[in-house]
Structure 1
Amino acid sequence: MTQSLDEAIAAVASYTIDTDMENEVWQKGVAINGLLATDRDDCLEAARALVDRSVETQDSNGQLSYGPSYPIEVFQHGKEYDAHWEIDERKAMNTNNTTSIGHGVLEFYRRTGDERYLEAARGEYENLQSVERTEDGGIPHHVPELSGVKGLWIDSVYMMCPFFARYGAAADEPEAVDEAARQLIVHAKHLQDPHTGLFRHIWHEQPNSYPQSTFWARGNGWIQAAIVDVLEFLPDDHPDREELVEIFRDVASAVVERQDDSGMWYNIVDDPHTPLESSGTLMYTYAFERALELGIIEDEKYERAARDAMDVAIGLVDDEGAVRRVAGPPGGPGAPLTSTSYGQGFFLLAASQFTDGQ
């Protein structure tokens, strides 16, 4: 190990602050969360600048940062993405990627009391309430009227659910908190494999199918990170709390048993022929530590797994502060390894769990 954790955090933070994220959406949302987790003055200033710009560029539908933008190029990593529907930029319009920025918007509402942040969050919330849903109430990942399908993607739970819970608490709208739990449960119903406890990537309602069915590392990270973040705002007596805890325990148990001796996890967690990948590794680290703090898991194997992962992750940071070996969007099999804003964000989120302030 060539640098300490504090040195790695400083380098990653500096690189992230200097990254141009003007044209990013969900990636920027994760980066904002990571910057906020450091509680460093320079990171808070940078996060607020990103949030303020996203509010300034909120579109007429209430979606932050110019609204959904999903260039067709991101779908060209694997033929499974273009084998099931005709992808173009219009049809790929996303329902909830911009909501990832809503976490940061609500954090600055908490810090400042400035009502423009709450109004911006309300726009995001109301937009998602208008989306046509699956028969059991799931909010699709893409606009059904354009894509021609109602598909649930595991990515959505991190974009939407912590935001719903936090918005409900901030706006005193308990139905939004209920929505956070409902979406997690509906997504688990369709995407969690009953045999392994792991989550698949994409489910389509019609026809009932899995166009991308692998146990993708970042996908299993999305669900774990989403649940621990939702539980922070979910009342202890909420009727869905125990079900969410059980979902978390099932997937965490399945994931922890598949950690490689290096401390990392494979891009497809049950396939050692895929590369060891950093974003999923960092997401599990963050989620395990948060779950231990919340008391929803207690076994020391999770603490050991998280510490082993964090130790190896420090070495993923290059001399400029870029976190390497991140599977590029949209993830899944064959995604190239690179550096991304969300990889930076999840490094900072995970690392913050091991600093003195945590």
Structure 2
Amino acid sequence: MDISFMKCLQIHARKQPIKCTIIVSLLWLLNSLFSAVICEPADDTYSKSAYASPQTTQTDWLLELANTIMIRTPKSRDYKWNWGAGVLMYGMWHAWKETGNTDIFEYVKSYIDKYVPVDGNITAHIDQSHHVNRVSPAIILPELYEATMDARYLTAASRVANYVQYNCPRTSDGALVHAYDDQLWIDTVYMVCVFLARYALLTGSGYEMAIDQILVHTAHLWNPAEKLFYHGWDEDGSAEWADPVTHQSPCFWGRGNGWAFLAILEVLQCLPSDHPRRGQLLALFQSHAQGIMEAQESWGLWKTVLKDSRNGNYEETSASAMFVYGLKKGRSLGYLVSASAAAADKGHDALASRIGMLSDGMTFVSGTSHGTNVGDYDYYIGISQGWDVMWGQAAFLMMKTLYRPASKIKIQVSPSSKDYGIIRVGSNSSQTFEVKNTGDLTLNISAIRLTGTHASEFSITTGEGSFALEKGETQDVIVRFAPVSTGSKTSSLNIEINDPKNETIEVHLSGIGAEPDIDISPASHDYGDVMLGQSSSRGFTVENKGGENLHITATELTGTHAADFGITSGGGARTLPPG
């Protein structure tokens, strides 16, 4: 992927990647001269003394960067429907989910609304050149539908899913071709699989396609010894960079490995815990994390070509920020060992030199390599670096959602747990939980879900979805327990919030499904011979052996000779508790 000027590059890229470098450089220069939205200092030395105010650990770079993006390009509709803008908007979406800032939400929504008409027919924007990069902006569609319940976003997402399944060119073994005939690029797994996983989380359809693409790309691009991905693979081996035997490109490109690492992480987050191929994907993610940590430079960053000490190799911002996010997030989700968080923290600290504030108050991100084709070592190190490149900004936004200044994000859920007691099968009982923001910052609830063994017997009737609470505000969430069988039932109400240190608040739920079980002993009586005018009495014991109250509404005698019998005691309506 990673190509901003696709039409020009298609002329040369397959056979002459060095010539492509010249074309990209010239086009980038022209773009910089005429751009109204990119404000770059005169050089790219990362020395901020001439441009920036001193950084402090209390600066909320997530909001500062998001605000700068919105100020520099006030109309998000000015961005084109392409991979770069799609990646940037997904970074902004992460910023919204973390902060609950409505300006960020509207900014992203405005971008999507330009391309998604009211009927959801998005075909015109994706069915051009059959290029998988055009799927990238659609990553936001499933979650935007969940946030708004506007059907056009779901319709559009379904059209994109159909486009991927039926229209995108593939290799002979079903892998999605990236940009040129019969070539696989590792970038594809991010541009396509993240969308498919998000779509599947919403609809249940798409998991298998996402996993299939990750695994078929792994089969062609993965180096098990180094635990890293090559950038490209050419099916017929005719590309200038292709190894004559393996058909693989020769280098472990940094950002390409970043795309793969985050894509696998996203799919794991969406995949059901009992999916039969989850273990295979998790093992790949863990192995890749190990390779990434081994490639980290001693001072914390990662180079544009990983595990290569030749001259000219440079530390690259977007890949480094991607790795930091993936390692930190992977650890917080329990996927990775503790060493991954330490490596992430080290990388984050080193990236402090790549962000700052200009004299006009605008935030910059430096050191991101521009659009990159597949090539050899000299090609990669020849790619220029820039300030405020969209995918570098996006990676920084995602990373900073996990590294905000020490905040006072606090949440109180009352009650903190609930035992519904004994509920008769077929009936139900509801409990209201009050969610309150007891901190000083906006509390953003990104999702409320029920999990656990018996989650299907509990349901959220009010308060499901995402919402933001300002200081002191509350929101009621009502959960109903409706057992469908007898026995003890457990579930958890999981409230996902914008606190990296405690992303999920868990409220334990329990209850017992029960049915009354009447036992009458003895089952019958034979009164024997009774003289006319005399009587004989017999007793019956009625016992509730179930777990629910037994309500007796009436006791009656029926049958042909009912008039010859009479109830002398114990008749009438009454309630028998269990036992």
**TM-score of the two chains, using structure 1 as the length reference:** 0.84
* 2:354 matches 1:316: yes
Greater relative contact order (Cα < 8 A, sep 6+):
1
Q: In the alignment, what sits opposite 1:89? A: none
Q: How many residues align?
A: 325
> Relative to 1, partners in 2 of residues 1:341 and 1:268: Cα closer, same or farther, differing over 3 Å?
same
Q: In the alignment, what sits opposite 1:348? A: 397
Q: In the alignment, what sits opposite 1:306? A: 344
Shift of 1:61: 7.4
Q: In the alignment, what sits opposite 1:7? A: 60
* 2:287 matches 1:230: no
Over alpha carbons, which structure has the higher Rg? 2
**TM-score of the two chains, using structure 2 as the length reference:** 0.53
Range with greater deviation from structure 2 (16-25 or 126-135): 16-25
SS at match of 1:4: coil
Cα distance in 2, alignment partners of residues 125 and 22 from structure 1:
22
Shift of 1:15: 2.2
Match of 2:204 among 168, 172, 176: 172
Write the deviation string for residues 96-136 of structure 1: whole angstroms up to 9, x where unpaired.
11211112122211101111001111121111112232222
Name the aligned partner's letter for residue 137 of structure 1.
G
Cα distance in 2, alignment partners of residues 4 and 154 from structure 1:
35
Name the aligned partner's letter for residue 42 of structure 1.
D
The answer on whether the counterparts of 2:127 and 2:163 sit within 8 Å (CA) in structure 1 is no
Cα distance in 1, alignment partners of residues 339 and 204 from structure 2:
38
* 2:162 matches 1:109: no
Name the aligned partner's letter for residue 135 of structure 2.
T
The answer on whether the counterparts of 1:326 and 1:337 sit within 8 Å (CA) in structure 2 is yes
Q: How does 1:1-358 map to 2 (within 5 A)?
A: 2-4=55-57, 6-20=59-73, 22-23=79-80, 25-39=82-96, 40-56=101-117, 62=123, 64=125, 93=129, 95-130=131-166, 131-142=168-179, 147=180, 149-173=181-205, 176-207=206-237, 209=242, 210=247, 212-272=249-309, 273=311, 274-298=313-337, 300-319=338-357, 320-330=362-372, 332-339=380-387, 340-355=389-404, 357=498, 358=500
Cα distance in 2, alignment partners of residues 63 and 231 from structure 1:
31
Shift of 1:317: 1.5
Cα distance in 2, alignment partners of residues 167 and 297 from structure 1:
25
The answer on whether the counterparts of 2:233 and 2:248 sit within 8 Å (CA) in structure 1 is yes
Structure number with higher helix proportion: 1
Unaligned runs of at least 5 residues, structure 2 = 1-53, 374-379, 408-497, 501-579
The answer on whether the counterparts of 2:119 and 2:152 sit within 8 Å (CA) in structure 1 is no
- % identical equivalent positions: 28
Shift of 1:42: 2.1
Cα distance in 2, alignment partners of residues 127 and 164 from structure 1:
11
Shift of 1:203: 0.6
Shift of 1:58: 11
Superposed CA RMSD in Å reads: 2.3
The answer on whether the counterparts of 1:59 and 1:67 sit within 8 Å (CA) in structure 2 is no
> Relative to 1, partners in 2 of residues 1:58 and 1:193: Cα closer, same or farther, differing over 3 Å?
farther
The answer on whether the counterparts of 1:25 and 1:101 sit within 8 Å (CA) in structure 2 is yes
SS at match of 1:152: strand
Q: In the alignment, what sits opposite 1:77? A: none
Q: In the alignment, what sits opposite 1:73? A: none
Cα distance in 2, alignment partners of residues 6 and 289 from structure 1:
20
Range with greater deviation from structure 2 (314-323 or 160-169): 314-323
Name the aligned partner's letter for residue 218 of structure 2.
A
Shift of 1:318: 3.3
Structure number with higher strand proportion: 2
The answer on whether the counterparts of 1:13 and 1:348 sit within 8 Å (CA) in structure 2 is yes
Shift of 1:10: 2.4
> Relative to 1, partners in 2 of residues 1:118 and 1:6: Cα closer, same or farther, differing over 3 Å?
farther
The answer on whether the counterparts of 1:161 and 1:184 sit within 8 Å (CA) in structure 2 is yes
SS at match of 1:116: helix
Shift of 1:196: 0.8
